[in-house]
Amino acid sequence: MSLKKIKRNNQKRIKKNLEKDMKQKMHMFDKLGEECLACKEKFDKTDGTMVSSWNVVVREDEDKVNLYCPNCWEFAQKIVKEVFNEQPSAKSDVLVEEQ
**Would you mind telling me the total number of residues written for the chain in this entry?**
99
Domain extent, residue 76, equals 33-85
- 94 in a domain, yes or no? no
How far apart (Å, rounded) are the C-alpha atoms in residues 77 and 73? 6
- 1 in a domain, yes or no? yes
Domains held by the chain: number: 2
pLDDT tens track for 32-88: 889 999 999 999 989 999 999 999 998 888 888 899 999 999 999 999 999 888 765
24 and 4 in one domain?
yes
Taking CB atoms within 8 Å and a gap of at least 24, the contacts of 41-49 are 41/69, 43/67, 43/69
- 90 in a domain, yes or no? no
Q: What is the pTM of this model?
A: 0.61
- Residue 91 pLDDT grade (very low, low, confident, very high; cuts 50, 70, 90): low
Please name the helix (run of DSSP H) or strand (run of DSSP E) that holds residue 68, with its range, or none: strand 64-68
- Decide: residue 66, CB within 10 A, 0-12 exposed, 13-18 middle, 19+ buried: middle
40 and 25 in one domain?
no
21 and 2 in one domain?
yes
